[in-house]
Structure 1
């Protein structure tokens, strides 16, 4: 657990409310601000990349003039789309219907990002350190924001269901981007229905898709968020021979469990960045193929 202490400290610092928001009684932290800028920047980078690809292939045919309302709608759909899908089934009001602070906050951040004359394209040296931050920000969503929607639900059936917890994590974390891609919000053309990447061939292999229930499940397992996870933790401890006879398995404290999940996601997202922006994982295969091509074929009698 000593190895996780720095991560716990980073979270404690990043989640402290900061000025000038505290002047107005708003509990907006450094993590909230950086995560909002990161998301709005990524959305603009994706939009501009799709625009360049469209113009390169089709010219300016069907290109629609970009509006701030569409950009703001995009970021709000990404942030709250998954919540809008799950909350009706959990019988709780979505957060954006209870308070307008976060929607207005993201709208302002998107306006700031859109006023910047230009933003750089995605490249490896920039994305690698940001992947570590993405791991931390996604962990906060999967460990602090989503589980209480289920574990603190008024319905005892919902609050005790591990399946509900995992499905809620999957849909809430990915539903926003799913709706955005479905409605082609980020394309330079008018809005139209299209097949989201998640439903295309091998779309299920996307790390963002399956890491949500995985990380939430690990966090629930370590913290005993529900009776099922407490029993599973005890069973796993017994199977690997780490249990002390006659002593129940104690849950890991929430901050340590969150730190472990953050390290896991940071490594996962960093590996994804290396895979997407370099040919590191392809080198062994290419080297073998090149070697086979260079070797002369043996003559057979």
Structure 2
């Protein structure tokens, strides 16, 4: 029983990390209807910028502040010079634009900072902590606490600030929001800036866990099942979806993997997502599309 609980807790903590990446997608999709496939490249660029500055013997805080400024400025520039010019285009055009952006950002990162694998040390040892008979990774606890703090902060921002309430109004009805004087372009810049902050936190945590390398962009693929399960328009859905995917993936790796004689972690989450698409396409918290004929 202790081993089951240990596996479940480990999966839940990993799920919080998945949720952190998924929230970056939700923020932009909820405010502008754009599925930002470049979010993974933003995660990589943030982590690579930070670790490059640290290797140049910058202090932790100065490196963090400069990386934050670079990532937020880059995210705002993407909205201003790329997405705004395509605002009236189809969803497929916008998706292809962000897909192209992901390769541009990766190429720029490689030109400026090289393609070597970097070790990122955040000063948190990955040692087990005992909770009775259950062992939990210290790094996973710190990462989950960091991600959870960010999630709580975003929830408070969206629910109790004027800007956050305006963003929710835009998500519910953009035309009505414009009719009462809400400036969409200004708020879209804010959303992209916040998505840059989320990319920075995700990049640091994932980079510390698996090293800063170009495969870090593939973390977006882990976010897709989370979005399908939780819904593309809900921060709460991203959290719940991440916890479900993390827990089921961890348990399946131990119990289903033994039955099949191999690892299932690379594909099991997508099986869960496929099941949700068949039963509840909008996800647990997503908004169902209503078509009037």
TM-score normalised per structure 2: 0.31
Higher relative contact order (CA 8 A, sep 6+): 2
